[in-house]
Structure 1
Amino acid sequence: MTETNFKHQYEGGCRCGGVAVTYFCNTQASATPVRSCGCEYCSPQQHAFVSTPEAMITVQVKHPHIIYSHRFGTYSAGFCHCAVCNELVFVRAEIDGETYAAVSVQALHLADEFTAAAAFDFDAESDEQRNTRRRQSWTANFSLTVANAN
């Protein structure tokens, strides 16, 4: 799928402009499912994420070293931050050789248009349950491009 297959696109990125993200979908922001987790990392910072299997996420970074991934808890997903301004932009997980991703709502320019999410507790999930949930709610249509590899 390409961006022309989608009715809506939501632009965003980190505060310093080093990481840009676009979320393409067919639902308006107010009707798009927003999820947050109640873990000790996400809850205090009120992180919330948006994705659907039918969506597409594109990420562009200005330099290969500008993005870093933080893993914690089950270490099954990488929370990807800008190395300059430390803003969380997206989260991704590898499942059976395929990348699944979700965008941080706070990183989107029109974040207020998305409906607030209740926090879920995913601690009791088995690895299989976690992977199934991500396959069913995250997008595999994900690309990361480095704008300047020099």
Structure 2
Amino acid sequence: MASTQQRFMRRGITKIYFLKTIAAPTNIPTRAELTTGPGATDLSRLISDVEGWALENTPLETPDLGNAFASSIPGEDKAATSSLTFYEDLASETVETLLSKGTTGYVVILRKGDVPASKSLDAFPVRVASRAASYSTGTEPAKFKVVFAVTDIPTLDAAVPAPAAG
């Protein structure tokens, strides 16, 4: 039995937000925190590149004397080095101010877009580790890269919050 899969391109679909706070201990934002809360910023249209934003595991080798095969078991989890590259704005420093070195908050990624109840929300507790301009003499837009330290266990595959009833 073949199933139909609806494939998509992330550009134009995936949304990335920076939130200063999330009240729930689960790190799952409410709709208000995501879209209208103080410190909620939709970064999606400002981003030129995304790197990391995944959990990685470092397996531990468990060889034994009875076998020539070196087996392994899952080891510690850690977040991949994660960054967002932004287009620089000639007239404003809004993003640079928002994401200055040392700033803490949450990077929230809606992998399949803003589709309520879709289990495609990932929330990463972060602190800005560095922010640096990218210099080039080529004919390309001016950019800067923000590297984030993931400071706690991210929440993965959470449901996108429903819109407020109204």
Could you say which TM-score interval applies, normalised by the shorter chain? under 0.3
Using the size of structure 1 for normalisation, the TM-score is 0.27
Please identify which structure carries the higher helix content: 1
Q: Which has the higher contact order (CA 8 A, sep 6+)?
A: 1
